Amino acid sequence: MNIESLFGLSGRRALITGSGQGIGFELARGLAEAGAEVIINDIDPARLDKAEKKLSDGGATVHKLGFDVTNAEMVAEKIDAFEADVGPIDILVNNAGMQYRSQLEDFPVDKFDFLMKLNVNSVFYVGKAVAKHMIERKAGKIVNICSVQAALARPSIAPYTGSKGAVANLTKGMATDWAKYGLQINGLAPGYFKTELTSALVADEEFTSWLSNRTPAGRWGDVEELVGACVFLSSNASTFVNGHVLYVDGGITVSL
């Protein structure tokens, strides 16, 4: 196999949840540049329209699929309809998620419940709905976006840490159950990246100084640096990689 056949995604269709902005949008752009048709998803129609225009203007073939990833019935309905009306979803990137900061003893119960539903339940809901069709075809790629917080903890984000640990282990469970059908299910775990959602932390000189000193690479990551790992896990280059969590973190998880 040559490099293009190993890493190229031409002829494949990729669904990226939560891709109206941030990491999800950048992964959609990167998969499109590798040749895939991309299916972007967001609960906010305006954000979805804006993302579609940006990607289309860049030459991508884009489909919009707006649904609430925390609604299991809606997820199954939308996925089944897309498969019937448009065609197969060959790649799924489970990216939708949220963060909420509070000291654990004061963490609101409703925020905890919603964080878990968005960060963990959605991976199961969307993964199950898409995998049903992949299993019939005996082929498919699922990439679950984890985090360095699957392995590390910081003050004020204990529930988020718990949710990402759950996603990492759910990834292993998906691989254990579905690898026999020809699917590869892996995790991609970003470290600290500059996005719209982390802009306040990037601007915080004290935090950025701490992060730079704590990370062997000495800096924040740029979202473009996640694309190669996602393309690898979505391509023929990873046909015998299953249940793995790939950390893209500048070394923060390997250094004290």
In 3D space, the residue among 32, 48, 172, 136 whose CA is nearest the CA of residue 40 turns out to be 48
> For residue 93, what are its two tokens?
């990137």
- At 164 the pLDDT is 98
Per-residue pLDDT of 4-19, as tens digits, reads 899 999 999 999 999 9
Residues 1, 3: Cα–Cα separation, whole Å: 7
- At 72 the pLDDT is 98
> For residue 174, what are its two tokens?
């998906």
Per-residue pLDDT of 116-127, as tens digits, reads 999 999 999 999
- The DSSP symbol for 218 reads -
Per-residue pLDDT of 134-147, as tens digits, reads 999 999 999 999 99
Which band of pLDDT confidence, cut at 50, 70 and 90, is reported for residue 189?
Answer: very high
Percent over 70 (pLDDT), the chain: 100
Domains belonging to the chain, first-starting first, are: 3-250 (3.40.50.720)
Across the range 161-177, mean pLDDT stands at 98
Per-residue pLDDT of 68-94, as tens digits, reads 999 999 999 999 999 999 999 999 999
Helix 122-137 / helix 72-85 crossing angle, nearest 10 deg: 30
Across the range 170-197, mean pLDDT stands at 97
- At 196 the pLDDT is 86
pTM for the complete prediction?
0.97
- Does an H or E element contain 3, and which? helix 3-7
100, 125, 160, 192: which one is catalytic?
160
Work out the mean pLDDT of the chain and round it to a whole number.
Answer: 97
- At 197 the pLDDT is 82
> For residue 165, what are its two tokens?
């640990």
- At 143 the pLDDT is 99
pLDDT at 104 over 80: yes
Active site residue 181: no
Residues 212, 250: Cα–Cα separation, whole Å: 10
Residues 119, 70: Cα–Cα separation, whole Å: 9
